[in-house]
Each structure stands twice: as C-alpha cells, then as structure tokens.
Structure 1
C-alpha cells in the first residue's frame, strides 16, 4: 500500500516539476514571441508572473518543499553569523594586499632568474 502512495507521490511530483518547467519555458517564449506587439515592460512583467507561477507550482512538490526548507534554514544560519567589524575588514584587506604584493615580487624575481638562466643556456640574449 505504501509503495503505491510513494509511486503516486513521486509521479505527481514529476508532473508538478515538469509543469513548472513548462510554465517557465512558456513565459520565456512569450517574452520573445510578443516582442512586436508589447513593449519591454509588459513582456518583463509577464515573464516575472510566469516565473512566480512556476515557483508556486514547483513548491507544491516534495522536492520543492525540501528546497524551500533549505532556504529557510539557510536564512536562520545566516542570522547566526558574526560579521567582522569595519576595522577588522580593513586590516584583513591590507594584510592580503601586502601578501599578494610580496608573492608577486617573489614570482617576478624567480621568473627573471629563470629567464636569465634560459638565455644563458641557449645563447639567446642581449
């Protein structure tokens, strides 16, 4: 009995997701198809309505509900993040810039030495 319910549920989910994809594709198609008849604002509004409808249809499926749950939990976790202060951000950025400059000069020096060595070995040089 539960196997039939799961099969029906997954089949319904598949139909809902394909319907959402079809609605989204139809709204994108309509955006380009109605280009001569309507201005861009009306076409964009139609595409946004189609996209919103596709999201609503997709959220009716089990995968859609799971995706919405992930979004809600992500927002909860985002509220728990301790963001750095402005001075911490400036100090970190300054340290990164200094390290990048030092590594850039180091790589330039190694490259120059290798170029000199290659020119000396091949006899092609100034």
Structure 2
C-alpha cells in the first residue's frame, strides 16, 4: 500500500511540474521548462524508493549491460546495408511507377478510350 501511495505522489509531482508550465505562462520559457524538469526529477526521486521503481531501475541497468554485449556493425557494413536499402527502394519505385502507367494505359486508352494518343 505504501508503494502505491509513493507512486501516486510521484505522479502528482510530475503533474504539478506540468501544471507549473502552464501556470507560469507569462514567465520566460526557461522557468517553464525548469518547472517541468523539477516535477519530473521530484517524481523520479519519489518513485526510486518504491519496489516497482527499484525493479525498473535494476532492469534499466541490466539493459545497459546487455546493450554493451551487442556486436554493432562497422561503418562499412552500415553504409553497404544502407546502400542496398536505397537501391531496393529505387527499384521498387520504378516497378510501381511502371505498373501504374501500365494500368493507366490499359484503363484509359484501351477500356474507356478517354485518351486518344
């Protein structure tokens, strides 16, 4: 029950930060943004002390560890893959354009006779 109350307090602090953004409508933008950031920081600080919050932060740490284990592609591999994707998109665009023009010719010239070439 205490975790639920802490989580509700964290959400209220975040909402207060957002409400402060609108309440300070006539103030400089930096103060309005700081209001939201303060609400966010306070909400995170309160959520940190809940059991679900601790599990979330532990999950985040484990996710970072797993990300470091990933073998990322080299610059050359990335450029080659990007080039292949662009070439495929270009070929598909040409195929779709030719299909569109072919269907246009069949429908308008042959079937309906609207375009007399």
Match of 2:42 in 1: 53
Structure 1: any 5+ residue segments left out of the alignment? Answer: 1-10
TM-score normalised by L of structure 1: 0.81
Structure 2: any 5+ residue segments left out of the alignment? Answer: none
Match of 1:23 in 2: 13
Match of 1:64 in 2: 53
- Equivalent residue in structure 1 for 2:32, among 38, 43, 61: 43
How many residue pairs match? The answer is 115
Match of 1:99 in 2: 88
Shift, 1:59, TM fit? 2.0
Match of 2:111 in 1: 121
Shift, 1:46, TM fit? 3.0
TM-score normalised by L of structure 2: 0.87
3-state SS of paired residue (2:106): helix
- Answering whether residue 19 of structure 2 is matched by residue 32 of structure 1, we say no
**Residues 21 and 35 of structure 2 are in contact (CA less than 8 Å); yes or no, is this contact kept in structure 1?**
yes
Shift, 1:35, TM fit? 3.2
* 4+ long deviations beyond 3 Å: none
- Answering whether residue 74 of structure 2 is matched by residue 80 of structure 1, we say no
Could you say what the CA RMSD is over the residues aligned between the two structures, in angstroms?
Answer: 1.6
The separation in 2 between residues aligned to 1:58 and 1:66, in whole angstroms, is 11
